[in-house]
A = this chain, B = another copy of it.
């Protein structure tokens, strides 16, 4: 199995995901977004689902961290909850898999340690563990995760997430872990991304600020409205 750091260079990972209501929804758009990311110097792509991953694999030569978002009624875990979800991403062409690594109940009672082991043994790809806090990061590393990402910070409580990224978690993880730390979640500006690297992140994932143009437009519009009343 390839090591995470052999697969993915230090730098910017671009998340190419659209929601069904987005004007840019669809794998042909996501594939071109990934091609644009490659043109601009990204080191990897994060993508969701068989169709998008396949299209992106056809269109770029960048490594893909795949996820399968799957919503089960029995569980709040939706980022690659089960081994079948992980296998789907790898079958589609993902070079690594990101999974929810919070302690929340998984569908069908699947266990995190078993999931990580099976991805390593049966799919032969590294695992990036999406966590929400330091303890989850330490735990996922002990279970064998190859990289820890801050993706879920701010998204596991009932409260709305803060506006900015959780740079404190990046710093805490980087000080405590041996495996690479990936900053992800609400990174909206180049300054945010640079700050994460400065605090010890190996890479940073940026999504909406690059690949969801209507979200970028909303930010401009909202700044203008604050000014014009």
B40 touches A224 (CB 8 A): no
Interface size band for A: 35 or more
How far apart are the CA atoms of A42 and B217 in the complex, in Å? Answer: 7
How far apart are the CA atoms of A217 and B62 in the complex, in Å? Answer: 14
B41 touches A217 (CB 8 A): yes
B32 touches A228 (CB 8 A): no
Task: Provide the residues of chain B in CB contact with A198, threshold 8 Å.
Answer: 227
B210 touches A220 (CB 8 A): yes
Task: Provide the residues of chain B in CB contact with A206, threshold 8 Å.
Answer: 220
Residue in contact with A215 in the complex, picked from B12, B29, B40, B224, CB distance below 8 Å: B40
Chain A interface SS verdict (over half):
helix
B-facing mask of A213-229, CB < 8 A → 1, else 0? 11111111111111110
A23 interface residue per 8 A CB criterion: yes
A193 touches B214 (CB 8 A): no
Distance between A37 CB and nearest chain B CB, rounded to angstroms: 5
A149 interface residue per 8 A CB criterion: no
A36 interface residue per 8 A CB criterion: yes
Residue in contact with A40 in the complex, picked from B32, B193, B210, B217, CB distance below 8 Å: B217
B-facing mask of A20-46, CB < 8 A → 1, else 0? 001110000100110111111110000
A161 interface residue per 8 A CB criterion: no
How far apart are the CA atoms of A216 and B40 in the complex, in Å? Answer: 8
How far apart are the CA atoms of A29 and B221 in the complex, in Å? Answer: 22
How far apart are the CA atoms of A91 and B14 in the complex, in Å? Answer: 39
**CB within 8 Å of B: which residues of A?**
10-12, 14, 22-24, 29, 32-33, 35-42, 189-191, 193-195, 197-198, 204, 206, 209-228
Lowest 6 CB-CB distances: which A-B pairs, in order?
A: A40-B217, A190-B223, A23-B35, A40-B214, A41-B221, A39-B214
A-B contact pairs, 27 of them (CB 8 A): A12-B221, A12-B224, A22-B39, A23-B33, A23-B36, A24-B32, A24-B33, A29-B29, A29-B32, A36-B214, A37-B214, A40-B213, A40-B215, A40-B217, A40-B218, A40-B221, A41-B218, A41-B221, A42-B221, A191-B223, A193-B220, A194-B223, A194-B224, A194-B226, A197-B224, A198-B227, A211-B213
